[in-house]
């Protein structure tokens, strides 16, 4: 009986949490640009590049072909000690919009191991425009991306998170990441709209230069190699309550690739988990802990039922609650971002995701870290 009550409690909390996210996702307004609203605001696009020779050319090509007035945007590329041909590729693109800075030439800005934060801080101080948009060198930007980002960024706001979606892959591991990222974007938007928590992705975020300087940028967070997104949005939300937004727009989305194997995926997720420990608000960490605990309880009651130690009802309750709530979220996110094809993988991905969560949780318990490669 105790097992059944525990299962009932976990199931109820899980369904309520996912329903909460779904409600606030639906309350987040979808944005579109009126045909009579030409861009009028200047913007500085910032890229921090470290050994990005494989993708930097494609990234810059997409940015230089944005449907945005030439005199209203610039691209600042900060080279973070690249040792490959990144700089040669960038230098070979002759365009007045691109301004290149070498982080090594500004030692006063370098706060190891936070090299990306250091590069962003340098770029903000060099920016010509008040609005700064951060993206990554491995992202793909469609031609209307910038005007949609800027149109959604209300002039009363100081920070805007925007969607980052993974390009479709073929393997089941890639499908799992694609599905997880879609759901994460829904949770990001719902969390910001509700004020429950604040998340962002450094591949697609915008903020006001003056607000960045007012909160002293990443001061106090330089001991973390990653977290340029999460630490900044937390600082902004504390300093400017009610002035954080999410661009719920397919056209404001950037695209990046999935991790191709388990080791690279797990290292990335461990980096994410590491930066969450430094956040003042613990809502996100508590939610991930609850989700991990849910999977553990689900596994325990499964084996208890399998070996006839308990009834099968607790397992069935947890199983049905999770699959129903997850499907609602995944379906809503995938339909909005026009990726409904991922739903055909829902069943196998549920089993794979449980393995993934438990494996990642075990690595965290054992103290494994996902350090940035600095080759």
Give a yes or no: residue 268 inside a domain: no
In this structure, the answer to whether residues 178 and 60 fall within a common structural domain is yes
**pLDDT value, residue 17:** 98
Helix (H, G, I), strand (E, B) or coil at 11: helix
- Residue 126: give the domain boundaries: 39-261
Determine how many CB atoms are found less than 10 A away from the CB of residue 284: 19
Tally the domains of the chain: 2
Instruction: Supply 138's token pair.
Output: 């491995």
How many residues can be counted in the chain? Answer: 375
How far is it, in rounded angstroms, from Cα 104 to Cα 115? 10
Q: CA–CA separation, 281 vs 197, rounded Å? A: 8
- Domain assignment present for residue 102? The answer is yes
Residues of the chain with pLDDT under 50: none
d(CA 111, CA 63): 28
Same domain, 197 and 315: no
Contacts of 228 (CB under 8 A, 6+ apart): 114, 116, 117, 120, 134, 202, 218
Does residue 170 lie within any of the structural domains?
yes
Looking at the structure, do residues 16 and 51 belong to the same domain, yes or no?
no
115 and 150 both lie in a single domain? yes
The pTM assigned to this predicted structure is 0.95
Residue 109: the pLDDT is 97
pLDDT of residue 374: 54
| Domain limit, last residue, from 201, 232, 261 | 261
> Is 187 found in the same domain as 82?
yes
């Amino acid at each position: 009986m105790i097992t059944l009550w525990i299962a009932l409690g976990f199931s109820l909390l899980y369904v309520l949490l996912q329903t909460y996210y779904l409600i606030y996702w639906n309350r987040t307004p979808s944005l579109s640009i009126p045909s009579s609203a030409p861009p009028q605001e200047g913007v500085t696009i910032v890229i921090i590049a470290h050994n990005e020779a494989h993708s930097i050319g494609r990234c810059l090509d997409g940015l230089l072909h944005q449907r945005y007035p030439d005199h209203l945007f610039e691209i600042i590329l900060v080279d973070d000690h690249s040792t490959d041909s990144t700089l040669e590729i960038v230098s070979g693109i002759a365009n007045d919009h691109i301004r290149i800075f070498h982080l090594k030439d500004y030692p006063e800005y370098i706060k190891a191991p936070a090299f990306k934060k250091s590069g962003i801080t340098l770029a903000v101080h060099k920016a010509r425009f008040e609005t700064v948009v951060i993206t990554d060198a491995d992202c793909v930007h469609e031609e209307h991306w910038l005007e949609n980002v800027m149109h959604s960024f209300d002039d009363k706001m100081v920070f805007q998170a925007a969607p980052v979606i993974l390009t479709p892959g073929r393997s089941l591991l890639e499908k799992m990441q694609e599905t997880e990222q879609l759901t994460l974007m829904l949770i990001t938007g719902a969390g910001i709209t509700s004020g429950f928590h604040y998340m962002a992705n450094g591949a697609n975020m915008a903020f006001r230069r003056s607000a960045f300087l007012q909160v002293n940028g990443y001061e106090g967070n330089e001991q973390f190699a990653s977290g340029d997104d999460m630490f900044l949005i937390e600082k902004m939300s504390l300093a400017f309550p009610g002035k954080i937004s999410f661009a719920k727009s397919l056209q404001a989305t950037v695209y990046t690739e999935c991790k191709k194997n388990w080791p690279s995926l797990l290292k990335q997720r461990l980096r994410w988990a590491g930066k969450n420990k430094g956040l003042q608000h613990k809502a996100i960490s508590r939610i991930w802990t609850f989700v991990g605990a849910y999977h553990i309880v689900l596994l325990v009651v499964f084996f208890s039922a399998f070996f006839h130690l308990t009834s099968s009802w607790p397992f069935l309750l947890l199983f049905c609650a999770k699959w129903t709530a997850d499907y609602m979220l995944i379906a809503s996110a995938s339909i909005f971002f026009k990726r409904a094809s991922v739903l055909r993988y829902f069943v196998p991905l549920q089993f794979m995701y449980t393995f993934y969560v438990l494996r990642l949780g075990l690595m965290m318990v054992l103290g494994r870290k996902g350090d940035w490669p600095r080759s």
